[in-house]
Amino acid sequence: MQPTKLFVMVFSFLLGGFASAQEFKNEVLFCYGDFYPEQIKGYQTVVLEGSHFSKADIEILKKQNKTVLGYISLGEVNSDAAYYDSLKEFTLGKNEIWDSYILDLENHYTSEVLLKLFNEAMQTKGLDGLFLDNVDNYGPYGPTPEKLPALVSFLVKVKELYPEIYLLQNAGVFITDQTQEYINAMAIESVASDYNFKTNKYRLRNFKEFEEQLERLKEIHEQYDLPIILIEYADTKKLRSKILERINPTSWPYFIGGIQLQKLPEFK
User: Residue 26: its pLDDT value, please?
Assistant: 56
Instruction: Identify the CATH homologous superfamily for domain 8-257.
Output: Aldolase class I (3.20.20.70)
- Which three-class secondary structure state does DSSP give residue 68? strand
User: Residue 1: its pLDDT value, please?
Assistant: 64
pLDDT digits (tens, 9 = 90+) for 208-238: 999 999 999 999 999 999 999 899 999 999 9
Q: What HEC string does 30-60 produce?
A: ECCCCCCHHHCCCCCEEEECHHHCCHHHHHH
pLDDT-derived band at 81, boundaries 50, 70, 90: confident
Contacts of 178 (CB under 8 A, 6+ apart): 148, 151, 152
Residue 35 pLDDT > 90: no
Minimal CA–CA distance to 71: which of 32, 112, 103, 105? 32
Domain boundaries, given as residue ranges, for the chain: 8-257
Identify the weakest region by mean pLDDT among 38-42, 83-87, 188-192: 38-42
User: Residue 64: its pLDDT value, please?
Assistant: 87
Residue 131: CA count within 13 A, CB half-sphere: 26
pLDDT-derived band at 7, boundaries 50, 70, 90: very low
Residue, of 78 and 26, whose pLDDT is higher = 78
pLDDT digits (tens, 9 = 90+) for 91-146: 999 998 888 999 999 999 999 999 999 999 999 999 999 999 999 999 999 999 99
The pTM of this model reads 0.86
Contacts of 144 (CB under 8 A, 6+ apart): 75, 92, 102, 104, 137, 138
User: Residue 32: its pLDDT value, please?
Assistant: 55
**What is the distance between the alpha carbons of residues 24 and 13, in angstroms, rounded to a whole number?**
6
User: Residue 42: its pLDDT value, please?
Assistant: 77
**What is the distance between the alpha carbons of residues 43 and 114, in angstroms, rounded to a whole number?**
28
Q: Read off the pLDDT of each residue in 4-13 and give the average, rounded to a whole number.
A: 42
Query: Within a 10 A sphere around the Cβ of 34, how many other Cβ atoms?
Result: 12
DSSP annotation of 136: G
